[in-house]
Structure 1
Amino acid sequence: MAARATIVGAAGFVGGRLRERLEREGVEVFTPAKGDQTLFERDLGVVYYCAGLTADYAQRPFDTVEAHATLVAEIAARASFERFVYTSSTRLYDAADRGSGDMHEDLPLALRPAEPRHIYDLSKALGENIALTQMTGRGGVARLSNVFGWRDGDPGFLSEWLVAARGGRALTLQSSPHIARDYIHVDDVVEALIAIVAAPEPGVINVAGGALTTNAELAAQFAEEGWRVTFTGQANPPAPPNADIARLRALGVIPRSVKDVVRGYLRTEALA
């Protein structure tokens, strides 16, 4: 593990957890605030780029482009660093041709410039391109699926569900039992980011659980442990594409099953 690291976006969910892990292992971690020009005046060591917008990208299109691509380009052009890992998203597969099964990292992406929602996809794809082509072989990309945790304030549907489980055994959720997602715990994401840095030529890596899990399946897990879960909706949208994680496994990172993680949580921390 490198002696020096920089986390862009250390105040966020993944970046904050990564910072904790690196500092526990004795790494000197620099966490620049937005607009900090010392980013271009010092040796950054290994850069973990965890900045980005998720829920509010449509309301903040220009901030989205800046966070996903503009600052990445500035770092590539002006900064001194050893390695660079860019956190992207498996959301880029949403419009891809699903006839080929699980989404492999080398599959072409289907991006539509006239689609407003694709400002997220296009800006992430541009950030990926800069990391892979403009950093003289020092850049890699981690495409993250649905990351969850259970600390107060951890974002995402499953995170909020797990936090709510500490407040009582009867839960009513504003969602549908039919919705499926590919979940990965934040600690497994951190493990993956560190492994990507150590890989000589990582390219693009899907950082995902590798399997879709429905809300109904998770609710059954909760029921086995003594919780009762009720959903307010019955929407049944098409399942999202599933990410192939063979490359992630080849790095030695084996994500834990979301059901196993949830079971362990309900038997321990949810009861504390």
Structure 2
Amino acid sequence: MQKRKATIIGGKGFIGRHLAVKLRTTGWDCRLPGREEIFKGQEDMGNVFYCAGLTADYILRPYDTVEAHVSLLSRILRADRYESLVYLSSTRLYDSQPGIVGTEEIPLSLNPTIPRHLYDLSKALGESLCSATGNGRARVARLSCVYNDHTDDEGFLPGLLRRIIEDRPSFLEIDSSPAFARDYIHLQDVLDALIMIADRGQGFIYNVASGENIRNETLFAALATASGCKIIPLLHENPPPPARISIQKIQDEFGWSPVSVLNKITSIIEENLQC
């Protein structure tokens, strides 16, 4: 039987490189071209997973942000050599509307005069390009805060896990507030969702999240229970509650059920502190 073909754009990044391993171990023929190699020849790209993007340094690199989120995408869509395309976007697009239930259909509120919205606007434009030019073959996955474990290079939660597991302190002081809240989604759940969306997705936009905002105070308590390390927040801000990301659509269509972050971090700590 012929292998299914995948092309990962941004295959050296956090999600892209793990997705490549997942696809190859499940029998896919997986290609990870560099940007200079994408348009060489006329070979069909198969199922494209568009994982290219900037996160932490997007304000310092505005032109690179637009290139990664929009310009390169537009050239791939224009070449039209793909069977399907899944564009990785972000649930950050709901951040300007605290307290709402963030469904895929809700209108977004973005302001081009706010520097932080450069990220949001460029992702929204990438989504719009997929809608306008994808001929029904392009879909969008809006991801929340993706984590794997303490070996991740970046991220608030992986950083906490790394310090607890590697240093084994009795307490940690953290530059954050107990009232801050995020929606955390585990990497393996994300990979499963991306493949399902590419394989048999019928909709256009899918929220890929846990559907639950976890406050830092709840997260810190779970970490303390699992490790014995007391976490002391140094900030005391009390921001409005963030949007709650609805995952009803992806659950109804695929029967997808993500793991609880509190259960996952407990198992990560218990497994690693036994060593």
Q: TM-score range by the shorter chain?
A: over 0.9
Unaligned runs of 5+ in 2: none
Letter in 1 for 2:249: R
SS of the residue corresponding to residue 87 of structure 2 reads strand
1:157 aligns with 156
In the superposition, the TM-score normalised over structure 1's length comes to 0.93
Counterpart for residue 58 of structure 2: 57
- In the alignment, what sits opposite 2:238? 236
Name the aligned partner's letter for residue 195 of structure 1: M
SS in structure 2 of the partner of residue 82 of structure 1:
strand
1:261 maps onto 2:227 in alignment? no
Further displaced range: 116-125 or 194-203: 194-203
Aligned residue in 1 for 2:140: 141
Percentage of identical aligned residues:
40
Matched, 1:249 2:248: no
1:134 counterpart letter in structure 2:
T
- Name the CA distance, whole Å, in 2 between partners of 1:238 and 1:260: 26
Instruction: Name the counterpart of 1:271.
Output: 274
2:98/2:241 contact within 8 Å kept: no
Task: Calculate the TM-score normalised by the size of structure 2.
Answer: 0.92
The aligned amino acid for 1:172 is E
Deviation of residue 270 (structure 1)?
4.2
**Mean Cα deviation higher: 226-235 or 118-127:** 226-235
Cα distance in structure 1, aligned partners of 2:85 and 2:7: 9
Q: What is the correspondence of 1:99-114 to structure 2 with a 5 Å cutoff?
A: 101-114=100-113
Q: How far apart, in 2, do the equivalents of 1:73 and 1:48 lie?
A: 14
Q: Name the CA distance, whole Å, in 1 between partners of 2:108 and 2:17.
A: 30
Q: Whole-Å Cα distance in 1 between the matches of residues 6 and 174 of structure 2?
A: 39
- Match of 2:127, SS? helix
The structure-2 alpha-carbon separation of the partners of 1:271 and 1:41, relative to structure 1 and needing over 3 Å to count, comes to: farther
- Per the TM alignment, residue 200 of structure 1 is displaced from its structure 2 partner at its CA by 4.2
Kindly report which structure 2 residues correspond to 1:72-83, keeping only aligned pairs within 5 A, or say none. Answer: 72-83=73-84
Q: Post-superposition shift, 1:2?
A: 6.3
Shift of 1:232: 2.3
What root-mean-square deviation, in Å, do the aligned CA atoms of Structure 1 and Structure 2 show? 1.8
1:89-112, Cα deviation, whole Å (9 max, x unpaired): 0000112374xx411100001122
